Structure 1
């Protein structure tokens, strides 16, 4: 029976390096250089635009191997948009305010089980695009 190779998962930063390496080198040299399979190289090449856009947008998350999304991502995105608008006007924003706004967005989206818990708020604050200095 053939031995199964151990899979290698690349970070977003490594995927972008692989994409840039492919621009000047052959597809044959790439698997050897990055210690991945040919299939992995072709999959990364196929999703090239997605990886480059995400790399530009989430420069702080370049070391993350997987992007975890919640089922309530659109609520968080709407709350983030509101937060940025309020921050632009130099308004004081508290944690409970963010939670209340998120609850309202959840109701608008038809999500009845969303609570905007303190755990959700902590995760929201940690998102790199929030630029939360003080709340």
Structure 2
């Protein structure tokens, strides 16, 4: 109730205003939310009793997916018995046995794009069906580099629910946040360059990395990447409150910057590439004394000559 009161456009300032608004707030609480509170009340009472007695509020030490994989790795490495695994990780023997029994399923989930810190899934059957189909659709769409906003995902989830006959399903903002958390999804600005990378090539390269670097000392293993700095561009996102979102053209004035660092954390001097040999801003400045190395070409791009240098 307090959260819904705080979300009002005009929160009550007096007790009288609060008393007048509470009935309407109560009526707008979804029935399924109230039903869930009623359904979980016995567990809440049990947890409260345990807390009063000074014991744990949960009878079972529930492990996250990542922690379960740790159990599996120790089992495979040290060949421990179920009893020893239970003692080492502070869990019951039954739980340890279940983890080993379902290790293939757990490892499959771990290597998929799922939230590895999730402990349990409390989704009901109808919610699991919607979640599964929506996630499969999401993966297909992103494999084709189709941009998906939160509104699009919620609309698709509602469409799936209607197709399955679940008329009471509400694709709310809360549902979207939990969907993102379950599947480790983040909504970000799209990078055009990243979309051109072949994931199969990336996987093949990472398999070769250990053999490539095995004969080099850590101080001689570097990672370098370049980025574009549009120093005159305004932000391409904004928070709105009851006004039109109107924007002009984005400035394309840019610098290219190359960053380089080794495994030990030693950072090389950044390389900055501009379009002019002597920009106006460099007047009366000794370029060699800048904390960066400055080079230039007509397009401010990284070239083979600059990389070789």
Q: TM-score, normalised by structure 1?
A: 0.71
Q: CA deviation at 1:20?
A: 2.0
Q: d(CA) in 2 for partners of 1:17 and 1:65?
A: 14
Q: d(CA) in 2 for partners of 1:56 and 1:79?
A: 19
**By percentage of residues, which structure has more helix?**
1
Q: CA deviation at 1:58?
A: 4.5
- Checking the alignment, whether the CA contact within 8 Å between 2:149 and 2:187 is kept in structure 1 is no
- Checking the alignment, whether the CA contact within 8 Å between 2:65 and 2:118 is kept in structure 1 is yes
- Checking the alignment, whether the CA contact within 8 Å between 2:118 and 2:182 is kept in structure 1 is no
**Of the two, which has the highest radius of gyration?**
2
Q: d(CA) in 1 for partners of 2:147 and 2:79?
A: 52
In the TM superposition, structure 1's runs of 4+ consecutive aligned residues that sit over 4 Å from their partners are: none
- Checking the alignment, whether the CA contact within 8 Å between 1:12 and 1:62 is kept in structure 2 is yes
Which residue number in structure 2 is paired with residue 25 of structure 1? 79
With 12-21 and 64-73 compared, the bigger mean Cα shift is at: 64-73
**By percentage of residues, which structure has more strand?**
2
1:131/1:44 CA distance change after superposition, 3 Å = same
Which residue number in structure 2 is paired with residue 104 of structure 1? 159
Q: Greater relative contact order: 1 or 2 (C-alpha under 8 angstroms, separation 6 or more)?
A: 1
| CA deviation vs aligned residue, 1:2-54 (integer Å, no higher than 9, x gap) | xx996433222222222222223330432332222322222222222222222
Q: CA deviation at 1:55?
A: 1.6
Q: d(CA) in 2 for partners of 1:78 and 1:7?
A: 31
Counterpart check, 1:95 vs 2:145: no
Q: d(CA) in 2 for partners of 1:123 and 1:7?
A: 24
Q: d(CA) in 2 for partners of 1:49 and 1:75?
A: 25
3-state SS, counterpart of residue 68 of structure 2:
helix
Which residue number in structure 2 is paired with residue 52 of structure 1? 107
- Checking the alignment, whether the CA contact within 8 Å between 1:80 and 1:130 is kept in structure 2 is no
3-state SS, counterpart of residue 100 of structure 2:
helix
Q: d(CA) in 1 for partners of 2:86 and 2:162?
A: 48
Unaligned runs of 5+ in 2: 1-54, 191-309
Counterpart check, 1:14 vs 2:14: no
Q: d(CA) in 1 for partners of 2:123 and 2:148?
A: 25
CA root-mean-square deviation: 3.0
Unaligned runs of 5+ in 1: none
With 92-101 and 44-53 compared, the bigger mean Cα shift is at: 92-101
- Checking the alignment, whether the CA contact within 8 Å between 1:22 and 1:30 is kept in structure 2 is yes
| CA deviation vs aligned residue, 1:86-127 (integer Å, no higher than 9, x gap) | 334444434333322222211111111112122223333444
Q: d(CA) in 1 for partners of 2:95 and 2:148?
A: 44
